[in-house]
C-alpha cells in the first residue's frame, strides 16, 4: 500500500474567510429535508440540510436551525416536529420552504395527533418530540426523540456546493 502525501492546505486568500469556510463545507454532500412544526398561525416548515442520526437506542435524531432565521424561535420552542427527507423528484417541494414557511397550499399533508404537520409522500419522515436544544454558535442543535418513522423506496435528493443533485450508485 502506498500513501500519497499532499502539502498543507489552506483556505484560498480572500477578504471573506467565512465564505471560504462555507464553500469548503459545501463540498460535503448532504441530503435535503423539510422540517415542520405547529405554530398558532398554522403549520410552519423550513428546508434544512443539517440533519443527522444520533442514536438508535433511544431513537434520536438532530437538526440545526440558524439563529438568523425568522423561523428560529418557533422551531427551538416546539414540543414536537417532523423531519421529512426529500426524494430525488422533490426538489420543487424542498424549494417551497427555503424562504416561505407557510408553503403548505396544494401539498398533501395532515396533522399528527399532537398537531405536528406531516407531509405525505416524502422519502422518509421522522416524527419527533423535542428532547433537547443546545446552543451551537450561530445555530442551535435540536435533538428529537423519534416517535414514529416511515419511509419508501427511491433515491434521495442531494445538495452539494450550492446545487441540487441525485445519488447515482457506483455499482
CA–CA separation, 122 and 31 (whole Å): 12
* Count of CB atoms situated within 10 Å of the CB of 103: 19
What is the pLDDT, as a whole number, of residue 3?
Answer: 45
Using only the alpha carbons of the chain, give its radius of gyration.
18
Please report which confidence band the pLDDT of residue 106 belongs to, taking 50, 70 and 90 as the band edges.
Answer: very high
In sequence order, which residues have a C-beta less than 8 Å from that of residue 108 and are 6 or more positions away?
119, 120, 121
Residue 116 has pLDDT above 90, yes or no: yes
Q: What domains can be seen in the chain, in order of their start residue?
A: 30-153 (2.30.110.10)
With pLDDT > 70 as the criterion, what percentage of the chain qualifies?
89
SS3 assignment, position 99: helix
Phi-psi domain of 31 (left: phi exceeds 0; alpha: psi -120 through 50; beta: other): beta
When pLDDT is cut at 50, 70 and 90, the band that residue 23 belongs to is confident
Amino acid at each position: 500500500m502506498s500513501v500519497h502525501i499532499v502539502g498543507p492546505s489552506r483556505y484560498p486568500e480572500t477578504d471573506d474567510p467565512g465564505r471560504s469556510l462555507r464553500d469548503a463545507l459545501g463540498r460535503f454532500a448532504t441530503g435535503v429535508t423539510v422540517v415542520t412544526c405547529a405554530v398558532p398561525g398554522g403549520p410552519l416548515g423550513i428546508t434544512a440540510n443539517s440533519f443527522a442520526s444520533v442514536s438508535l437506542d433511544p431513537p434520536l435524531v438532530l437538526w440545526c436551525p440558524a439563529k438568523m432565521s425568522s423561523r428560529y424561535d418557533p422551531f427551538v420552542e416546539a414540543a414536537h416536529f417532523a423531519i421529512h427527507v426529500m426524494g430525488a423528484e422533490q426538489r420543487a417541494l424542498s424549494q417551497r420552504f427555503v424562504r416561505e414557511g407557510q408553503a403548505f397550499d396544494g401539498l398533501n399533508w395532515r396533522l399528527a395527533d399532537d398537531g405536528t404537520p406531516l407531509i405525505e409522500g416524502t422519502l422518509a419522515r421522522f416524527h419527533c418530540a423535542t428532547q433537547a436544544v443546545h446552543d451551537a454558535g450561530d445555530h442551535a442543535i435540536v435533538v428529537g426523540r423519534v416517535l414514529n418513522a416511515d419511509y419508501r423506496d427511491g433515491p434521495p435528493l442531494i445538495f452539494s456546493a450550492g446545487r441540487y443533485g441525485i445519488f447515482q450508485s457506483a455499482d
